[in-house]
Chains A and B, each alone.
Chain A
Amino acid sequence: MSAPIHIQPGETFTLNVGPQHPATHGVLRVKLEMDGEYIVHSETVLGYIHRMHELMGENRTYPQVLPNLSRMDYLGALGYTHGHVLAIERAAGIEVPERAEYIRAITVELNRIASHLFWFGAFVMDLGGFTPLMYAIEDREYILDILERVTGSRLTYCYYRFGGLYNDIDDEFVPATKALIPRMRESLKKYDALVTGNIILQKRLKDIGPLSKELCRKYGATGPVARGSGIDFDVRKNEPYSVYPEFDFDVPVYHECDSFARYKVRMDEMEQSLRIIEQGLEKLPDGPIMPEKKPKLIKPPAGDYYQAVETARGSFGIRIVSDGGKNAYRFKLRSPTYSNMHLFDEACEGMLIMDALALMGSLDLVIPEIDR
């Protein structure tokens, strides 16, 4: 149904979706040139929530930038701080104790599940089903409670430190996380029964919003968006970091290229994250959470450093150019949603607005992370 249509010039009108619109989940503005319900041309306009995190990264010392990274993506904040500390540790040559690495991996995966859960709810709400959001939030609350116990906050975590962690996990973290795993597996089954099998949902997602492999490559899409288009790329597998090589997990890849494939990728990823958490809890070693020898002042030697991590939304890269001082000379962030979003302009041409907004929902956009 989303085949391009031919229209006469002068018959279109401009529709401003956003910056305040329920479908954009934030302050993204999409200028749509419409012919009735069909989109002729689309233009995404950014910058409504730009906060200059990159400039702040150059003006402040390295530890001072720590909290900034979690303000980028309010749903999967731990993944971004993880990338930051890994980059600085690599640059400054700081050894990280194994226990800290395991706790990082477990908490990042918990955060990934929480992020995907919220996406799941919001996506189905975009499609008009409100109830799954409530179910997803209930499960997400449970995860946030666990994370709150160890990190002290619920959304904008600042838990990781250069070399380790802010504090060790408490006695209740392990049992609570162990209890979460069967609970989440039950929930995933429930979501499948309630949502995935629903015929209306399948009709709205299958073969709708095609993003070809070439398009994904062209715009540099990563994460579930690329994996839903048959690109088998996951930083955790392809450029392993931290303790991820120790874990046995699969990278779900679907070749259908439609919105449903992206939906399935994220649903499967939650199960894979559970597997990682399960193994991490089993292997969790004892020991310190901070290295014994750690420089008082973080001053990476002059050089160019890059670290990529797999966040809930895709490959997040952080590039630090150091001139040997207390501040970074250049602090560049590569946020996954920025690339993923720019697919939209090209992909949605000729689509109905309903399908286009379903496609936008399947990209899992978090606007503060695009604008930084």
Chain B
Amino acid sequence: MSLTLLNAIIAVVIAIGFAALNAAYLVWAERRGAGRIQRRPGPNVNGPLGLLQPLADGAKLMTKQLIIPGGADKALFMVAPVLAMAPAIMSFVTIPFSDVIVARSMDLGVLMIFAFASLGSMSILFAGWGSRNKYGVMASVRAVSQAISYEVPMLITVITIVMMTGSMNLHDLATSQAGGFWHWNIIPSLTSPLMPVSFLIFFICSLAETNRAPFDLGEAESELVAGFHTEYGSMGFGLFFMGEYANIVIGASLITILFLGGWGCPFGLFPSVFWFLLKIYLLIATFIWIRWTFPRTTIYGLLNLSWKILIPISLFNLLLTAGLLKVF
């Protein structure tokens, strides 16, 4: 019994460490990538290639005073950043990085990750409401309506895949695609000819779910100052930031597991954690690339895209796959 407890603690520590390290260095990668895209160096002063920049930023954020604005709802204001970070870390528990590296393989892994992802929009709502800032309230309402409308097509796409695999266990989902890239879910097969479209839908939804540009309406700085975290300074802001990047890693991991064969090598040789990390970091690089290329969408453009385009297509795909599974 105590051994399982110890295991659990070790798993949680590793998950937190992985999430924090990723958040810190993804910020660095994002800033370096943005610099590359914008023909400027990016952070390059602290340490070789600016690699110590995240540490300096972290030290700065931690030493700053935490200011709670007058009239703010203290409890909500304090709870919101924690709620942004905690579900993201919890989700790492069930993500399999390779055949053996997984903290806790759960039969309802996919469901759990989505349940925790939904908690993320709760934190945005709390932050916007709790900070008693009109920009914050507007931003949080936007972010929540966005999260609701993008979880629907995302889940429909997941249902399509779960139907094909017959399991909600992330490990099983990945192993069902073992052996070469032609087995991956992204490649259209006889039973699911529309899979590349599903992949695209899921990819767009991941961008929207993680509040990334071009869907970063919750923190649209040109109209809402800084959105829901306008009033946050110090580590409160830091936690939102880390939570955002942890969510990006989770989004990329989900795409990898659901569509890109998890830890499988494209040629069916030596499946390992290396391939998994390679795939998620390539996806994250794409996220960064998109963010620094596109302008922001409008709120109605965003909702129209989800309800009028993505949901009908994903529903059609679900029905098509269901029908074809019955036939073949």
Contact = CB atoms under 8 A, between A and B. Distances in A.
B312 to A, nearest CB: 19
A138 B220 CA distance: 25
Contact of B222 (A13, A125, A135): A125
Of listed B40, B214, B294, residue having the most chain A CB within 10 A: B294
Nearest to B221: A22
Contacts of A188: none
B222 A126 contact: yes
B299 interface: yes
A128 B134 contact: no
A203 B34 CA distance: 25
Interface string A1-31: 1000000000001010000011100000000
Contacts of B225: 21-22
Contacts of A129: 293-296
Interface string B291-326: 011111111110000000000000000000000000
Interface string B190-227: 00000000000000000000000110100011110100
Interface string A127-156: 111110011001000000000000000000
B37 interface: yes
A254 B134 CA distance: 37
Interface in B139-173: 142
A354 interface: yes
A352 interface: yes
Contact of A127 (B135, B142, B222, B299): B222
Interface residues of A, number: 32
A354 B38 contact: no
A204 B220 CA distance: 14
Nearest to A361: B222
Contacts of B64: none
Contacts of B297: 200, 203-204
Contacts of B213: 128
Contact of B214 (A1, A15, A128): A128
Given A22-B221, A23-B223, A357-B223, A134 B298 contact: no
Contact of B295 (A23, A36, A124): A124
B293 A131 contact: yes
A122 to B, nearest CB: 10
Of listed B142, B216, B298, B299, residue having the most chain A CB within 10 A: B298
B203 to A, nearest CB: 16
B277 interface: no
B37 A353 contact: no
Contacts of A22: 221-222, 225
Interface string B26-49: 000000001001111000000000
A198 B296 CA distance: 11
Contacts of B222: 22-23, 125-128, 357, 361
Specify the main secondary structure of chain A where it touches its partner: helix
A159 to B, nearest CB: 30
Contacts of A126: 222
Of listed A352, A354, A361, residue having the most chain B CB within 10 A: A354
Contacts of B296: 127-129, 200, 204
Contacts of B295: 124, 127-129, 195, 198, 200-201, 204
B138 interface: yes
A371 interface: no
Contact of B223 (A1, A131, A135, A353): A353
A37 interface: yes
A128 to B, nearest CB: 3
A352 B299 CA distance: 9
Nearest to B298: A354
A15 B296 CA distance: 22
Specify the main secondary structure of chain B where it touches its partner: loop
Interface in A165-217: 194-195, 198, 200-201, 203-204
Contacts of B138: 36-37, 353
Nearest to B135: A15
A37 B294 contact: no
Nearest to A2: B300
Contacts of A198: 294-295
Contacts of A13: 134
B62 to A, nearest CB: 26
Given A200-B214, A354-B299, A15 B294 contact: no
Nearest to A133: B38
A254 to B, nearest CB: 20
A135 B223 CA distance: 23
B206 to A, nearest CB: 18
B294 A354 contact: no
A355 interface: yes
Given A23-B222, A125-B222, A129-B295, A204 B39 contact: no
Of listed B39, B40, B295, B296, residue having the most chain A CB within 10 A: B295
Given A128-B213, A131-B292, A352 B221 contact: no
A201 B301 CA distance: 11
B310 to A, nearest CB: 15
A37 B135 CA distance: 10
Nearest to B301: A203
A131 B37 contact: yes
A355 B134 CA distance: 18
Nearest to A204: B298
Given A125-B222, A130-B292, A200-B214, A352 B298 contact: yes
12 contacts: A21-B225, A127-B295, A130-B292, A131-B34, A134-B38, A134-B39, A138-B39, A200-B295, A204-B296, A204-B301, A354-B298, A355-B298
Counting from the closest, the 7 A-B pairs by CB-CB distance are: A128-B296, A129-B295, A134-B38, A127-B295, A126-B222, A128-B295, A357-B223
Interface of A: 1, 13, 15, 21-23, 36-37, 124-131, 134-135, 138, 194-195, 198, 200-201, 203-204, 352-355, 357, 361
Interface of B: 34, 37-40, 134-135, 138, 142, 213-214, 216, 220-223, 225, 292-301
Given A127-B296, A352-B300, A354-B299, 14 more contacts: A22-B222, A127-B295, A128-B294, A129-B294, A135-B38, A198-B294, A200-B295, A204-B298, A352-B299, A353-B138, A353-B223, A354-B298, A357-B222, A357-B223
